[in-house]
Amino acid sequence: MSGGTHLTTARRVIIKIGSALLVDQETGAVNRRWLAALADDVAQFRARGQEVVIVSSGAIAVGRRHLSLGTEQLRLEESQAAAATGMVRLAHAYQEVLAEYDLTVAQVLVTLDDSENRRRYINARNTLETLLKLGAVPLINENDTVATDEIRFGDNDRLASRVAVMVSADALVLLSHVDGLYDKDPTENDDANHIAEVQGEISAAVQGMAGTSMSYDGSGGMLTKLEAARIAMAAGTRMAIADGTELNPLKRMEEGALCTWFLPDANPKTARKRWIASALKPAGTIVIDDGALRALNDGKSLLPAGVTNIQGRFERGDAVVVTAHDGREIARGITAYSANDARRIMGNKTSEIEGILGYRGRDEMVHRDDLVLS
């Protein structure tokens, strides 16, 4: 499979845009010409039926000039204030360029903590899934007004990889000032060789290619990009480091522009199923009837109507074991309801959930995408 095909065959694509590509470092203004060309690329993706999520830096760079903070190193609270000012202008710029193609932008503010806290992770995932289902282009900004780690470490590459994992993306593209990974720092070595593909895992040899210099492509250096690749690949998401300095960088990738692809040994669905089956510790048990058992074997989701008993104490988003009435383990999955709510709706039709709980939850107690048969 060619590099361009890695991108064009992806059903869901995450695009991470660095601040230096998007914002003029002298004036603090958004580079509208570059952004308009990116919008053209995104529109082409959407026309092919691909879903797109944008993870964008740049809020601090835009906001600091409007607050007259100058060019010196900012204190943490000044960076947060600049982010609050810049986010509004940045989101507006994206809205304007994508509206030219009748694409709806939806801003979502997240932090790394949102990808690590289980409850917030589920909420963020459901919101993004709903936006994509409705045809919107989610615009993810790191919530620098409340976060500190991302500001201090320039770790938005890792944040982008966590978003890719969150929505089970097929591909993640880190648009950068270099065209990929080299066997040594190309800014210091004229004989550095470009690496077109990294297969399966980030080995010690590949890790060593990034060196220790923070100057090798931006504030976080190549090391943060390799960490992003490790996170993405573990979830079955292929990732690319590509040159974003020219106009229409995604189109250029499709046409064969130099970049580095990190290719996992599984796809997102397979990797997620593997994670559910082996990496999560079950917090409870859901017992089902014979009708539900047949439905699961036919590849369907577990509905409340087929549940006969709930055992243990678990919360929404926890792993559970699904068993038959004789105790045989049928499956493992991630529950959409807490144990208390599950007990209240078990045996009832989906249409009755809202009347019982007082809110409209998910139709399924465990969705088939979150379920692995034993």
pLDDT of residue 216: 44
**Domains identified in the chain and CATH numbers:** 3-267 (3.40.1160.10), 280-373 (2.30.130.10)
pLDDT of residue 112: 67
Mean pLDDT taken over the chain: 88
0.85 exceeded by the pTM?
A: no
Which of 96, 94, 66 has its CA nearest to residue 81?
66
Name the one residue in this structure whose structure tokens are 């030219």. Answer: 100
Cβ atoms 56, 63 nearer than 8 A = no
Residue 214 has pLDDT above 50, yes or no: no
Which of 46, 53, 54 has its CA nearest to residue 22?
54
Residue 115 has pLDDT above 90, yes or no: no
Q: How many CA atoms lie within 13 A of 305 on its CB side?
A: 10
Residue 146 has pLDDT above 60, yes or no: no
Residue 117 has pLDDT above 90, yes or no: no
Q: Residue 96 has what DSSP assignment?
A: H
Per-residue pLDDT reduced to its tens digit, 156-184: 888 899 899 989 999 999 998 889 999 88
Burial 91-101 (b: 16+ CB within 10 A, else e): bebbbebbeee
In angstroms, the CA 265 to CA 263 distance is 7
